[in-house]
């Protein structure tokens, strides 16, 4: 039996997106910037995909700009936002549990003379509103806080952060990386209160190599790529049409079914946690299970790498932390001040709407077998 429980890393491309992509690759392959019939047809497909993504995100089509993925969108929001606001100040606030696609650009801002404040997560893995308020300064020009943590599933209070900035009359732009929340938990850009928001295709059953940045109407942002003026001059380069239409189709389906998907994922997450606890009473669950599709657990005293190898041999795909870390120790769990044995024994199980309770039972049984076998081997 093969079980794919690493959906926070990437998802299988859905059939509807695949079919749309193949059609664009083989038949509707025009350049949307061309003025002939093929080009005009491609331009219509591009705008339809933009409409689909916008609707799923609760945004206007003109607020969606396609990128090569979530990493580019994060980089554009952080570097472009700070550059746009540099005449007002050089202080940036973010979250120590952010993805590297946010933290690395923040490091770059430091080399450019910006003062960056990274707030620690609380015991549940969330940002503290009171600490954020205390960190705000007159020269704060950008606040970037992820919506859903990719390792623990902790959901941060983005609307509350937006209200806080408004109450304090802060000039700062507000950015959220919503990659793990998009089409997993219901939200709408027009009520979140953010100025910038990162989205990704391959986390919602779309293709890799495509994402988007939401830029709220009226928000000014420096272009990220210069060239032929595509994406209204913000992001030049011939659009990756097959990936974009696939993203659009996946977003259409994901947006239409988000509430049903959230309910199904939360039920499966709860079921999996219950079955694991029944079999391994010593298991620790990290965080409070905010997001419906991420289950972070730990077997203190075991090594996560060894557990992963055991499960892999059983055909079960889970992860240690973010896929981008490639085996490194979880910086997120360290920021939560968890004990070393908890961090070293942590694994992430992440679901999609394609997973089943049968797969969850198989995974729980295999994890129990791993614990018993590895415990015996250690004696």
Q: Which residues are catalytic?
A: 324
> Which two structure tokens, joined as six digits, stand for 173?
């732009």
What is the C-alpha separation between 371 and 280, in angstroms, rounded?
Answer: 8
CA-nearest of 354, 367, 347, 363 to 151 is 347
DSSP bridge partners of 12: none
What is the C-alpha separation between 87 and 182, in angstroms, rounded?
Answer: 33
Beta strands in the chain (DSSP E): 3-4, 64-67, 91-95, 115-119, 140-144, 173-177, 196-200, 211-215, 284-285, 294-298, 316-317, 346-350
CA-nearest of 221, 232, 230, 177 to 199 is 177
Phi, psi of 297 (to 5 degrees): -135, 165
CA-nearest of 14, 17, 11 to 245 is 17
What is the C-alpha separation between 80 and 77, in angstroms, rounded?
Answer: 5
């Amino acid at each position: 039996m093969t079980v794919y429980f690493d959906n926070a890393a990437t998802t299988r491309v859905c059939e509807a997106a695949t079919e749309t992509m193949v059609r664009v690759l083989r038949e509707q392959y025009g350049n949307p910037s061309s003025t002939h019939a093929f080009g005009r047809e491609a331009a219509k497909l591009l705008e339809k995909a933009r409409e689909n993504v916008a609707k799923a995100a609760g945004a206007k089509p003109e607020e969606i700009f396609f990128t090569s993925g979530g990493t580019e969108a994060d980089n554009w929001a952080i570097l472009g936002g700070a550059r746009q606001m540099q005449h007002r100040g050089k202080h940036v606030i973010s979250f120590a549990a952010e993805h590297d696609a946010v933290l690395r650009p923040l490091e770059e801002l430091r080399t450019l003379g910006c003062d960056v404040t990274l707030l620690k997560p609380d015991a549940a893995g969330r940002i503290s509103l009171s600490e954020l308020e205390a960190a705000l300064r007159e020269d704060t020009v950008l606040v970037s806080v992820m919506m859903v943590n990719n390792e623990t599933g902790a959901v941060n209070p983005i609307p509350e952060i937006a209200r806080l900035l408004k109450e304090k009359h802060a000039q700062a732009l507000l950015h959220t990386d919503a990659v793990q929340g998009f089409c997993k938990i219901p939200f709408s850009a027009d009520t979140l209160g953010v100025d910038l928001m990162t989205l990704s295709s391959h986390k919602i059953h779309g293709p890799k190599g495509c994402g988007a940045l939401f830029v709220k109407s009226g928000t000014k942002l420096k272009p990220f790529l210069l060239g032929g003026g595509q994406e209204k001059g913000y992001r030049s380069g011939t659009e990756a049409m097959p990936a974009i239409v696939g993203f659009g189709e996946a977003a259409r389906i994901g947006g239409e079914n988000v509430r049903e998907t959230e309910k199904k994922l939360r039920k499966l997450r709860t079921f999996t946690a219950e079955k694991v606890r029944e079999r391994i009473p010593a298991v620790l669950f990290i965080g409070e299970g905010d997001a419906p599709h991420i289950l972070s657990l730990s077997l203190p005293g075991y090594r996560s790498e060894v557990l992963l190898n055991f499960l892999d041999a059983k055909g079960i795909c889970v992860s240690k932390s973010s896929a981008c870390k490639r085996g490194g120790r979880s910086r997120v769990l360290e920021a939560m001040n968890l004990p070393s044995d908890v961090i070293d024994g942590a694994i992430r199980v992440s679901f999609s709407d394609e997973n089943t309770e049968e797969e969850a039972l198989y995974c729980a049984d295999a994890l129990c077998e791993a614990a018993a076998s590895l415990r015996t081997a250690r004696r």
